[in-house]
Amino acid sequence: MKIRHFLSLLDFSTDELHALLHHAIDVKQRLKQGVLHTPLTGKVMAMIFEKSSTRTRVSFEAGMSQLGGHAMFLSPKDIQLGRGEAIEDSARVISSMVDIIMIRTFGHDRLQTLANHSSSPVINGLTDYVHPCQLLADMQTWFELRGNIKGATVAWIGDGNNMCHSYINAAIRFGFTLNIGCPDGYQPNEDLVKSGGDQVHIFNSVNEASKDADLIVTDVWASMGQEQEQKARELAFVPFQVSKQTMQCADKDALFMHCLPAHRGEEVSADVIDGNQSVVWQEAENRLHAQKSLIEMLLK
């Protein structure tokens, strides 16, 4: 049987993504009621983190335990991958001993190479290109609060980064319109924008991009690996802060999301992220539930 990986949202069909989210909501409710759900007894996940993480690490590790399995944290500082062992060789060896691998890394090609040489399913825990697990949590949060997102308008404000790229893929799979407000020089990948067809629009202004939006989303100005660009990016991104004024351009019932970690006073003002339209804590918690559903689907 062909192994299924989750390297991008596009690896799953619209129907599969809807099924995944419905199962996530169900599993979340059962967990809150104290009902044990341990279909993965004896299963092991290897988690390779070549970048820092709070949410991804805690959610995968807690999720595997709750499902009856186990997750092991592998830092490149401690394994031979960090001393130059080929990713192909690491993939063959690690996947021969565990049931599923999660990796957070830099180049997307590194993730693809790992998947190509793995005999177990591989999950993308973030690359420089996309962050699909975060979109599962974001979509679950929307579904819980508002129902189907099809036909809604989402405004992505800020950097055309990995999160923005995953929002483009989500627009394709879930059928919403995506308005991207970003400074010149920081637009998302051109081919990806083209793949979104007339569902994806680029603006150079926060107010235009957020006009009548149902959901406003942003992310840090400098992603992991871009720390040395922080100062230059601050200059370019100052006019792209999500503020009260941005929320006023959006629909009056609009929600605010951010994958976190956030920098109050940079990409978002404190009164927005801590305000009553913000759903960032529910969004963060849903990483746990959505990924448990994902792991179950991949190991089914």
Q: Is 131 a catalytic residue?
A: yes
Among ligand NVA, ligand CP, none, partner that 141 touches (CB below 5 to 8 angstroms by kind): none
Note whether 271 and 1 are within 8 A (CB).
no
What is the C-alpha to C-alpha distance for residues 151 and 251, in angstroms, rounded to an integer? 14
Q: Is 259 a catalytic residue?
A: yes
> Binding residue for ligand CP (CB under 6 A) from 25, 62, 79, 260?
260
Among ligand CP, ligand NVA, none, partner that 216 touches (CB below 5 to 8 angstroms by kind): none
Q: Pick the closer one to ligand NVA by CB: 161 or 278.
A: 161
Residue type, 93: V
Q: How far is the CB of 177 from ligand NVA (least distance, A)?
A: 22
- Helix extents (H) in the chain: 14-32, 55-66, 87-97, 108-116, 132-146, 162-174, 190-195, 206-210, 230-237, 244-249, 270-273, 280-299
Q: Pick the closer one to ligand CP by CB: 280 or 297.
A: 280
Q: Which of 254, 258, 250 is nearest to 281 (CA)?
A: 258
Strand partners, 278: 256
Interactions with ligand CP, residue window 128-157 (CB under 6 A): 134
Q: Pick the closer one to ligand CP by CB: 124 or 153.
A: 124
- Which helix (H) or strand (E) segment holds residue 123: the answer is strand 122-124
Q: Is 219 a catalytic residue?
A: yes
Q: Interface residues with ligand NVA (CB under 6 A)?
A: 126, 131, 161-163, 219-220, 223-224, 259
List residues binding ligand CP (CB under 6 A): 53-56, 126, 134, 259-260
